[in-house]
Amino acid sequence: MSTLYFNDWNHAYANKNTALAKRFAEEFNRSLHLAKDKERGYTEIKTIVGNDYSGLDWKRVENRDVIAVKLEQVLEPGQSIQLFFTYTVHLPSAKFTTYGFTGQGYNLKDWYLTPAVFNEGWLLYDNVNLDDLYTDVTNTSINLKYPDKLFLATNYDESNTTKFPRGQYVTLTGKNRKSCEIILSPFKRFTKHVTGHLTVTSDLESNKYDEISQGISINKVSQFLEENLGEYPHDNLLVSEFAYNKAPLYGINQLPSFIRPYDERFQFEMKFLKTAINSFLKETLFLDPRQERWVSDAIAYYLMIKYVEDHYPKQKLAGKLSKIWGIKGFHLAQMDFNEQYALLSMLPVRKNIDQALTVRNDSLIKFNQKIANGYKAGLGMSYLSEYLGDKKVDSSIIEFYKNHRLTSKVNALDFRKTLEQFADKDIKWFFDEYVTTDKKIDFKIKNINKTEDSITLVLKNKRGTNVPISLFGLQKDSVVSQYWFTDIDTTKTVTIPRNGEDRMVLNYDQKIPEFNQRDNWKTLNGFFSSNKKLKFQFFKDTEDPYYNQVFYVPIANFNIYDGITPGMRIYNKTFLERPFQYDISPTYSFLERTLVGKATMHYRKYHQKTGLYVTNYSITGSTSHFQVNSRFSTLTPAVSFGWRPNDLLSNRRQSLLFRYRNVFRSIDDNIADQIDTDPDYSVMNVRFIDVDNNILNYNSWFLDAQHSSDFTKLAFEMEYRKLFQSNRQLNLRLFAGKFLRNKTDSDFFSFALDRPTDYMFDLSYLGRSESSGLYSQQIIISEGGFKSKLENPFANDWMITANASTNIWRWIEAYGDVGYLKNKGEDARFVYDSGIRLNLVTDYFELYFPVYSNRGWEIAQNNYEERIRFVVTISPKTLIGLFTRKWF
């Protein structure tokens, strides 16, 4: 070797172009991009010298968190070298990743230089906030001085502890360890628990669970870990609240403490178990966490599932809530605690964003990285354990850990060899199908025939994934028989003895993460008894495979003509996405004293992960009022196609929409003379959309074509937002529209500068027919995108406009709009406006204050308050999307 490489993960906070900063941007997090210099972390290297104390050349590898040191002489195999680094670490603020300085203390991890790993090539990984620094087996000694008012907790061994005026000194030693973790806090939070199995330093919080009980639970979990993994080889295991918060138990466990439904003992033990297993494995197995994380996940989550099965077999997912009237009827309340792993791992599968367990940790969608892939790995081990039986998986985990703990360059192949060594059946399917692919598992019972002494079934493999499937025979709710069947490529006919079964169920114990369990059972009691019963249920629930579920929930909508319209939403959407969905929302208008509402039927077909990945078919009908005693109704059949890039982390999406909008209007006689178009009309609409939703560089454009009996028109819109390194944001938008034919004499279908008539009824106007008053000041940026209300704002020939804004201070921006518009038989007109924009939440809540336009100094004119415009979003679904977008 002529060059050696070192990890410098503290430098990931140094600027706005590091891998960490880019990762944050992908997750709609601007904190690192907008950080002040004093909040950033960086490493300042003074010198690097060799054995003879001569200086060595070094450089940062591009803008990565890696340092390359060039040696004066080539290092031959078997040789060693000493290097001496002198450098200063400037710690980042803990507000970015929770690592760094907190204002009261310090949370330190991966904060000093470590040798990169060479394994048939250098493995150079950047810090992207995944806690997966890869280091080899290392001996480390740290001499640490720190203020006398802070208390120390660490995963390393402490010695030579002394105090001096205003400070403390300690030597931290790690033999065959990974990176040193240090927590310095102004309070003495940590307690040392010496059990008969290992010594634990912990500060896990549990206000209602006393210290003696905590000690008993810690001893119980420690014994479980020793029995199911092996002896912990170090003197101290650090189990901190800080580490738990980095990787918590997701699900109901995330509820606020005052409404958590679990017994204090169970909750504390699961919290401690999750954190202890992760620390246990990270400190002793030197797997590549970037490329082979699934191995440690498989062991950790399998042991968590096993712990609940052994010690809390009757624990429900909803805990104490499962016994409360009004809640206990939910299928979610009836689910066992361990069923959450199948539920949450199936969430991305149903959304078609699941990823194989072997996908690199930094290429996983956040939901998969944080939750789904770990759950799938643990479920896979439970699946394998059920298939092999006799605790062969338990024995293989113990053997794997015994042989490979604290050994260099252990890998997933070692794990596979150990599992195959203990298996007495062929388990290639586990690695070749379950682990390394994202293929779906889905079986059904196609046919069933019975005789007095046997049952013959036809099993169908709906997805072609060649894995074993379990079959259970039930008598009422008791299992009376169980079988495993393998090598089902398409269909397979099997015959089993009859033992009093009245129902046959595939995957009854749900150990197999199956795509669809709604067709997993057949009754032996005749055709009519096999029909699933309807189950009407308040609010959304998890899927119950034994019922056709219909959900209902009260809703209320609002516009000024109907007022607040309460009603009932009836739908079949469960927590997991399903191909066919219906959603019927009848509501009552008290102002109009009639029914209004909306109904949709939708079918979604996923094709693949990337490229053309989805096709949507839908038919939607709605009815509401657009003026007093004037109703509009729409009926719209549609089909759309969606494209996604190969990088699933990318926020770019493309879609092509075909829809046929039919509009029917009944108009009050008092305003009939104000309506200058036929009340009923139909429009064929084709639109292609390309959106790259990035918080630093947002790009979108669409091309829209509309055709009806009276007109044909084209429209193009492009929008660009850029957040510069100076923290200045620039927003640009361009719109161009042209009528190819226009037979109408009305402006109802014309292009509009500031407030389109919305003849397609796409926009969420609170008062769509208002020309004065507060509701007329609502603006939805569409077509011309102007904010000032100019005279003659419509164009029945063509229009082109440009909108721009940039920030003055934080969310205060200056905006300006310019454009040309032309009507038939008239010359083109130049229009402009400008003003101040309060960009409180982009696209969700904004205020516009016009200053100067074609109308002159608007701010100095009468009734200025009527010229102020606002953007507001009150749709719960849209608002929820603002918070969930970073996870998917």
- List, for residues 105-142, the tens digit of each pLDDT value: 999 999 999 999 999 899 999 999 999 999 999 999 99
pLDDT at 867: 93
pLDDT at 519: 86
pLDDT at 675: 83
User: Does residue 877 register a pLDDT over 70?
Assistant: no
In this predicted model, what pLDDT tens digit does every residue of 831-846 receive, in sequence order? Answer: 999 999 998 887 778 9
In this predicted model, what pLDDT tens digit does every residue of 582-592 receive, in sequence order? Answer: 999 999 999 99
User: Does residue 256 register a pLDDT over 70?
Assistant: no
Structure token pair of residue 846: 């904004």
- How many Å apart are CA 776 and CA 21, to the nearest integer? 42
Q: pLDDT averaged over the chain?
A: 92
* Closest residue by Cα to residue 633 from 660, 673, 662, 669: 662
pLDDT at 887: 74
- How many Å apart are CA 220 and CA 312, to the nearest integer? 13
Q: HSE (CB half, 13 Å, CA atoms) of 319?
A: 14
- How many Å apart are CA 349 and CA 438, to the nearest integer? 9
**Burial category of 272 from C-beta neighbours within 10 Å (exposed 0-12, middle 13-18, buried 19 and up):** buried
Rank 24-28, 45-49, 444-448, 723-727 by mean pLDDT and report only the highest.
Answer: 45-49
The angle at the Cα of 727, spanning 721 to 733, to the nearest 5 degrees, equals 15
The percent of residues above 70 in pLDDT, for the chain, comes to: 97
User: Does residue 444 register a pLDDT over 90?
Assistant: yes
Q: HSE (CB half, 13 Å, CA atoms) of 815?
A: 25
* CA 664 vs CA 245, 626, 632, 673, 786: distances in Å: 55, 12, 6, 17, 29
User: Does residue 528 register a pLDDT over 60?
Assistant: no
pLDDT at 724: 86
| SS3 at position 98 | coil
Q: For residue 471, what pLDDT band results from cuts at 50, 70 and 90?
A: very high
Architecture, CATH, for domain 443-526: Sandwich (2.60)
pLDDT at 880: 67
- How many Å apart are CA 243 and CA 296, to the nearest integer? 16
Q: Beta strands of 252-328 (E only): which ranges?
A: none
What torsion, rounded to 10 degrees, do the Cα atoms 760, 882, 293, 90 define? Answer: 140
User: Does residue 63 register a pLDDT over 90?
Assistant: no
Rank 732-741, 757-766, 840-849 by mean pLDDT and report only the highest.
Answer: 732-741
Average pLDDT over residues 385-392: 92
Question: 191-194 and 199-202: which strand pairing?
Answer: antiparallel
Report whether 196 contacts 166 (CB < 8 A).
Answer: no
Residue type, 775: Y
In this predicted model, what pLDDT tens digit does every residue of 771-781 receive, in sequence order? Answer: 889 999 999 99
**Burial category of 175 from C-beta neighbours within 10 Å (exposed 0-12, middle 13-18, buried 19 and up):** middle
Q: For residue 517, what pLDDT band results from cuts at 50, 70 and 90?
A: confident
pLDDT at 518: 85
pLDDT at 811: 87
Q: For residue 532, what pLDDT band results from cuts at 50, 70 and 90?
A: confident
User: Does residue 606 register a pLDDT over 60?
Assistant: yes
pLDDT at 878: 62
Residues 866-879 as b or e (16 or more Cβ within 10 Å = b): ebbbebebeeeeee
Residues 765-801 as b or e (16 or more Cβ within 10 Å = b): bebbbbeeeeebbbbbbbbbbbbbbbeebbbbbbbbb
Q: Where do the structural domains in the chain lie, given as residue ranges?
A: 443-526
